[in-house]
Every structure is written in C-alpha cells, then in structure tokens.
Amino acid sequence: MAFRTRITEMLGIEHPIVQGGMQSVGYAELASAVSNAGGLGILTALTQPSPEALRDEIERCRAMTGKPFGVNMTVFPTINAPDYKAYAQAIIDGGVKIVETAGTQAVREIWEMLKPHGVTILHKCTAVRHALSAERAGCDIVSIDGFECAGHPGEDDIPGLILIPAAADKVRIPLLASGGFGDGRGLVAALSLGAEGINMGTRFCATQEAPIHDNVKQAYVDNDERGSFLIFRSFKNTARVGKSAVSEEVVRRLSQPDAQFSDVQELVAGAAGRELLQTGDLSRGVFWAGMVQGLIHDIPTCQQLIDRIIAEAEAIIDQRLAGMRA
C-alpha cells in the first residue's frame, strides 16, 4: 500500500514525506537520497556560497536522482543579506519546479519570480494566521511547523497537536505537518489531524546519507525528548537547538539580566555551527535539533527510514486501529 494525497500528486512523489531545507545539511547527497527513496528531497540554497554554486549543486543533484527534488530559500532580513533574487534565478535556470520558502514576507518577491516558471511553492510557517496569509498570497502548499520543531518555532508555542488541526480547519490548500515527526505513528497522526503529508528535519539528519559528522548524528540519537533548548526568546527570534555544553552556556548567558546578542555571538555564529557539523566537535557551536530526538534511536539509510515509516503507518491503520473498531 502507499498513501496518495494532494501533496503526493502535486509534487509527483511516491510517499507523503518531505525533507525540509536545512542549512549546511541540505546538499545533493541527502536530497537525492530522500527523493530516490520516494520522498521529496530539498537542497538548501543558502548553503551554497553563491548562486553559481547553487546552479552546480542542482546539476549534481539531478545527476544523482531522476526523481523530483526541491530547493529551499530562507529569507531573513540580515545586515549582509545574500542576493536572494540571484539565488532564485539560479533555481529557475536549473529548471527546479518545487521550492520551499521560509522567513519573512519579503519571500513573496521570490514567489513572484518563480511562479511564472511553473514552480510549486511550498511555504513554511508557524501560525495559522501566517498560513492563511500565505494562501491568500498564492502559495500552493503550506508547511505548518509546530512548537516541537528544530530551527525557528515562532513565538506562539502552539504544539502540532493543536496547530495542525487548527490550520486544517481554515486553510484550503494542502497542508504538510512539520515539527516532531520521525516515524509511522507521526505520519498517521498528521494525516488524522488534517495534513496531507509530513515534513522532517531532525530525523533526516540522523541518516547515513546526511552529509554531517557521525558525532553529530550520534548526538541526535543520544539526546532524548528533553534534549533541546529554546534560545533567543528575548529577541523575539526564538530558535530550538540541540542540548550540549555550548547550548547550555548560551542559555545561561542569555538568562542574565540585560543580556545582549553580543554576549553569545561567538557561540552561535553560523560559521561555528558549520564547523561543528563538519568536524563533529560539539564544543565549536550550536546545532539545530527538535524534540523528536526522543524518537530517534538509530542511523538508517533514507530508504530504510522512509520504508519503515510507511510500513509502520500501514500497520497502525490496518491492524492497530482496525483492531480497535468495536
């Protein structure tokens, strides 16, 4: 059996499982492995140092899979903002037809560039009101990220159990449930709550093909459901990172009265995080991780992981739930 939803149809994929964009992880190795396993793999545009490098990475990914894959564009206002439009042009030139976006409303200028080229826009947000606004503005699929998620859960702290059905009650375009998913139980739950697929980040980091150091993969296995911290709350830019000596120190410094970003800047720098992922030296910086770490106990291939999720989901529906019918 397989699951067919509006999302599998729109994206042309076998299973309703998407790998979310991940800075310094979303390279062709991972994206192609997810796509080859029947899900949707996603390259992360800004992981590439330039739009030209993104063009090459798209070509590399295409050589590694004949199946559909996407590119993530995360748009945040920063002092030295990258040339987002040049990255979007690289996506268009590369012929990619699925783009996952995240970030501020400025992302809509990118949609305007992409849509005339027949690109399906999958927009990630953390609140029902933002999902509705994205729908009105013409995105095709909303990925709704609950409080459990790695990365940026927003400031409302609504877990998926409430956020997903609350969004499903109001949003008419297909919904991907994101944040806290890692197994077949989660997939069945997401479909029950009104989503038409799941998006996973942390779980895909702990796979054979994730191009990060084994020590980091092992940290995802070793951390349990309490193994993540929220940081940057006081700056209204909350981020969920994995538990480690460094992230504990970040939390400690930021809990001091009048704490400033500069107090932790060197600990949370993007370059430090990149180095951590590559070298496996967890003392270098912080790494993104979600509460789903509590459900991660091994480091399978993407094919094994996706096959297992689908088999578990089928068994839950056909045996466990069917067996409970009075």
21 lies in the binding site for ligand FMN (CB under 6 A): yes
Show contacts with ligand FMN in window 123-162 (CB under 6 A).
124, 145, 148-151
205 lies in the binding site for ligand FMN (CB under 6 A): yes
Site mask for ligand FMN (CB under 6 A), range 183-202, x = bound: ----------------xxxx
Show contacts with ligand FMN in window 46-105 (CB under 6 A).
72, 74, 102
Q: How far apart are CA 51 and CA 53, in angstroms?
A: 5
22 lies in the binding site for ligand FMN (CB under 6 A): yes
Tokens of 61: 């990914």
For residue 10, the tally of other CB atoms under 10 A from its CB is: 17
Please give the biggest Cα pair distance in the chain: 61
Q: Cβ(30)–Cβ(19) under 8 Å? A: yes
Q: Shortest gap between Cβ of 323 and ligand FMN (angstroms)?
A: 29
Handedness of CA 275, 277, 278, 280 (dihedral sign): positive
Q: Shortest gap between Cβ of 198 and ligand FMN (angstroms)?
A: 8
Q: How far apart are CA 84 and CA 106, in angstroms?
A: 10
Q: How far apart are CA 307 and CA 197, in angstroms?
A: 15
For ligand FMN, the closer of residues 154 and 290 by Cβ is 290
Per DSSP, the residues of 131-170 read: HHHHHHTT-SEEEEE-TT-SB---SS---HHHHHHHHHHH
Stretch that binds ligand FMN, among 57-65, 176-184, 225-233, 310-318 (CB under 6 A): 176-184
Q: Shortest gap between Cβ of 114 and ligand FMN (angstroms)?
A: 16
Q: How far apart are CA 78 and CA 144, in angstroms?
A: 24
Q: Shortest gap between Cβ of 85 and ligand FMN (angstroms)?
A: 18
User: What are φ and ψ of residue 113, in 5° steps?
Assistant: -70, -40
Q: Shortest gap between Cβ of 111 and ligand FMN (angstroms)?
A: 15
Q: Shortest gap between Cβ of 268 and ligand FMN (angstroms)?
A: 13
Helix (H, G, I), strand (E, B) or coil at 20: coil
For ligand FMN, the closer of residues 168 and 219 by Cβ is 219
Residue from the set 193, 246, 292, 296 that interacts with ligand FMN by CB under 6 A:
292
List contacts with ligand FMN (CB under 6 A). 20-23, 25, 44, 72, 74, 102, 124, 145, 148-151, 178-181, 199-203, 205, 288-290, 292
